[in-house]
Amino acid sequence: MDDLELYRKAVSLLDGGQHVALVTVAATTGSTPGKEGFKMLVFDGGKSTAGTVGGGLVEAKMIEEAVRMFGRSASRTLHFELAGTGQDEKGICGGSVELLIETFDATALPLLAERVRAAEEALAQTPTVILCGAGHVSYFIARCAKSVHFRVTVCDDRSEYANPQRFPDVDEIIVEDVERTFDRVRVDDRSYIVIVTRGHKCDQTVLEQALRTPARYIGMIGSRRKTLTILEKLGEQGIPQEQLRRVYSPIGVSIGAVTPEEIALSIVCELVKIRRLGDELPIGHMSLSRREGRP
């Protein structure tokens, strides 16, 4: 759940007469499960939450504190050291975290409404995944990309595939001829174009258009043989090699994906990697190396 959804839910709960608390990770040092900016809403007398600030004992204590503060507009900051032994409930992350807890009553509705507006403005700056194609893989990419807070636009020339019933949670659906896909799609340097159309010819047509845009990322599904064939054809048509080198294809992080769901996951993993780490950094594994003397 993103910030906008949390603030909207908080407004709705207050309107309904409930007590509401918002917990925010204000600062961290070292390794912590909750990162700066993580938020959690506490309501229903402390029985229900939305969002997270990292889970575990710290989150449980913040819920307890929220319940104690319910019924008034107030705020408090709490600090936790997470250097546990592994045998206690602190965990063994080794870092520290500072959390801000805010409780609201009905008088705070204007403040929360202002936060909703600010979150709406921030959302307009959110990177957008532009899915060119509305087939099975696209369906799962859309769901996965939304879950990690990308905006999603779906483009296809088939209304029986590109429609709100099939894609209820995406931000925009465009039904247009393949040759005119980008006539109606706004593309900037926060755009991630994913080409997953119904065939090689359509892929090539869309890719040729995509290469004229300033998109942050352009990826095309397909085998190495298909990719090389399409890139060679576009090169023969005069598209410079430096432009063709922008294309990520075969698309996705190599995880041995087979099913549409797995392929979608591998693609969204690549999008997150580009978003967070950029083009150059290799993808490492979180496990500690055996060369460091670890089992």
In the chain, where are the structural domains located? 3-121, 126-277
237: Cβ contacts below 8 Å, ≥ 6 apart = 208
Instruction: Indicate left, alpha or beta for 268 from its phi (over 0: left) and psi (-120 to 50: alpha).
Output: alpha
Separation between Cα atoms, residue 147 and residue 127, nearest integer Å: 13
pTM for the structure as a whole: 0.67
In this prediction, residue 93 carries a pLDDT of 64
**Structurally, what CATH architecture does the domain formed by 126-277 represent?**
3-Layer(aba) Sandwich (3.40)
Say yes or no to pLDDT of 88 above 60: no
Please give the average per-residue pLDDT across 44-70, as a whole number.
93
Strands across the sheet containing 151-156: 172-175, 151-156, 128-132, 191-195, 217-220, 247-248
In this prediction, residue 288 carries a pLDDT of 43
Range scoring the smallest mean pLDDT among 134-143, 151-160, 283-292: 283-292
3-state secondary structure at position 3 = helix
Instruction: Give helix 3-15 / helix 109-123 axis angle, nearest 10°.
Output: 160
Average pLDDT of the chain, as a whole number: 89
In this prediction, residue 72 carries a pLDDT of 85
In this prediction, residue 249 carries a pLDDT of 87
